[in-house]
């Protein structure tokens, strides 16, 4: 196992080194002169930025003081996203590069071609045929005084043209890659948008028709997203005037000591039937027991493999599967085993992979997060390999599953193709 881990780590490091080398060559090496200030600055950045990324990852797991984590996190994680989209943009540029060179070469050749006189009435120029060698009138052998024309030399690439192409393609790739990261960062920092869906829930009485659950997951408070982000999330939820709030895991990336103040705005959540919380996998990296106690102090009700009756339906919650390593994993029998299956039920479970257990226990609707919708395209393709549903609504037998993309971001504070949001789930009664 150790050998496999080492080999995987070496392969990842080799891949990252190769990608950084490629990006440096296309953006710096091909576009700047040797010894120039631009090349020196670009080369230093090519070494420093990946070191900051490594520092951001290591510091968050090694007990480094929280202010140091914050200093390293912004440039370190943002560079990780920038590297992804710069690489993708440069790879697209590889297809554009030869086409642009060919276009410029043809345009240059057209400008250098001699003009042809096609004016009306111009006499045609007769070109005499080359004289055949033969005996001269004086008896000697006659030869053509004009030597044979040499074959044209192959075209030589114009260095200035190559530099222009390198700079044009590199500049366009930098603009596209960094622009994508900038827009993705803005999408996270502006706060989550609100989505509304209606779910018809079997067994829900007419009296509970229209019950609204404001669901949020994956807020990921940490070195980058702090108290201001929590306030944006709380304001977005309260603006929906929900009947109940469900915080479905991955609230934090850090300890209560570091992030307790960042989570305090959660005390301002407003809902007629209260706010509920279940753990996500990141809580178990951050001290789950301490966080469960802290959110309880903030007025949320943790559902640790537990169930409550609310307005005509059962609301249950299970711990995240990451808790199994601490003996605190999901316990469906405890949360759902003795309930009346004739009643409508809603299950809060961080990871959608537990949907099979929800089906087995007759759950009507499971609310999950965890996937971030892929967060950074094409990450959704990877997320699809590990999750039954990456984002949105699907049905599994009689059990319905809704997966939120989440309201925050893990690692880079960037989302591309997977906007952050909260979801208002309105329950509909079949009797209505």
Residue 181 and residue 78 in contact, taking contact as beta carbons nearer than 8 Å: yes
| DSSP-assigned beta bridge partners for residue 367 | 348, 402
**pLDDT averaged over 10-residue windows placed end to end, the chain, 432 residues:** 81 91 96 94 95 92 91 96 97 94 88 66 50 49 50 60 94 97 97 97 96 98 97 98 98 96 98 97 95 97 97 96 94 95 96 97 97 96 95 97 97 97 97 84
Domains assigned to the chain: 1-107+161-190 (no CATH), 192-428 (3.60.21.10)
pLDDT at 63: 81
pLDDT at 130: 47
In DSSP notation, 128-182 reads PPPPPPEE-TTSSEE--SSPPPPPPPPPPPPHHHHHHHHHHHHHHHHHHHHHHHH
3-state secondary structure of 407: coil
pLDDT at 131: 46
CA–chain centroid gap for 188, Å, is 11
Q: Which two tokens stand for residue 95?
A: 């297809």
pLDDT at 116: 62
CB neighbour burial string for 273-312, b if at least 16 within 10 angstroms, e if fewer:
bbbbbbbbbbbbebbbeebbebbeebebbbbbbbbeebbb
pTM of the model: 0.86
Q: From residue 340, how far is each of 175, 203, 244, 362 by CA, in Å?
A: 58, 11, 22, 10
Q: What is the DSSP letter of 275?
A: E
Cα angle 396, 398, 400 (rounded to 5 degrees) comes to 55
Cα angle 327, 328, 333 (rounded to 5 degrees) comes to 110
- For the chain, what percentages of helix, strand and coil (3-state, to nearest 5) are there? 45, 15, 35
| Total count of residues recorded for the chain | 432
pLDDT at 14: 92
pLDDT at 4: 80
* Block residue for tokens 């984590």: 69
Cis, bond preceding 198 (omega within 30 deg of 0): no
């Amino acid at each position: 196992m150790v050998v496999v881990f080492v080999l995987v780590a070496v392969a990842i490091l080799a891949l990252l080194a190769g990608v950084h080398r490629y990006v440096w060559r296309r953006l710096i090496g091909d576009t700047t002169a040797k010894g120039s200030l631009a090349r020196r600055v670009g080369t230093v950045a090519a070494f420093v930025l990946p070191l900051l990324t490594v520092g951001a990852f290591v510091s968050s797991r090694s007990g480094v003081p929280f202010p140091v984590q914050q200093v390293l996190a912004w440039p370190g994680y943002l560079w990780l996203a920038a590297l992804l989209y710069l690489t993708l943009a440069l790879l697209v540029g590889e297809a554009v590069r030869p086409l642009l060179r060919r276009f410029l070469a043809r345009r240059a050749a057209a400008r250098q071609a001699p003009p042809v006189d096609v004016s009306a009435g111009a006499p045609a120029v007769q070109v005499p045929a080359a004289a055949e060698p033969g005996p001269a009138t004086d008896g000697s052998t006659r030869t053509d005084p004009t030597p044979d024309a040499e074959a044209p030399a192959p075209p030589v690439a114009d260095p200035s043209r190559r530099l222009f192409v390198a700079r044009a393609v590199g500049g366009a790739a930098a603009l596209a890659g960094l622009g994508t990261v900038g827009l993705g960062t803005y999408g996270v920092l502006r706060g989550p948008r609100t989505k509304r869906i209606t779910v018809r829930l079997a067994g829900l009485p007419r009296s509970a028709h229209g019950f609204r659950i404001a669901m949020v997951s994956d807020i990921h408070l940490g070195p980058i997203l702090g108290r201001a982000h929590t306030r944006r999330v709380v304001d977005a939820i309260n603006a929906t005037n929900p009947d109940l709030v469900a915080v479905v895991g991955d609230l934090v990336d850090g300890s209560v000591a570091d992030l307790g103040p960042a989570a305090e705005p959660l005390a301002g959540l407003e809902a007629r039937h209260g706010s509920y919380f279940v753990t996500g996998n990141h809580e178990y990296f951050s001290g789950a027991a301490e966080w469960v106690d802290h959110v309880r102090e903030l007025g949320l009700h943790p559902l640790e493999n537990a169930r409550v009756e609310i307005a005509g339906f059962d609301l249950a919650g299970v711990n995240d599967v990451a808790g199994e390593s601490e003996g605190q994993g999901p316990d469906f029998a405890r949360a759902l085993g003795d309930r009346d299956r004739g009643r409508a039920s809603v299950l809060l479970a961080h990871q959608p992979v537990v949907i099979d257990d929800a089906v087995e226990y007759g759950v009507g609707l499971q609310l999950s997060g965890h996937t971030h919708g892929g967060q950074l395209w094409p990450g959704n393709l990877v997320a699809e390999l590990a999750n039954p549903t990456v984002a949105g609504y699907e049905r599994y037998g009689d059990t319905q599953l809704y997966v939120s993309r989440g309201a925050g971001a893990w690692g880079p504070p960037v989302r591309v193709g997977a906007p952050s949001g909260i979801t208002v789930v309105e329950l509909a009664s079949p009797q209505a």
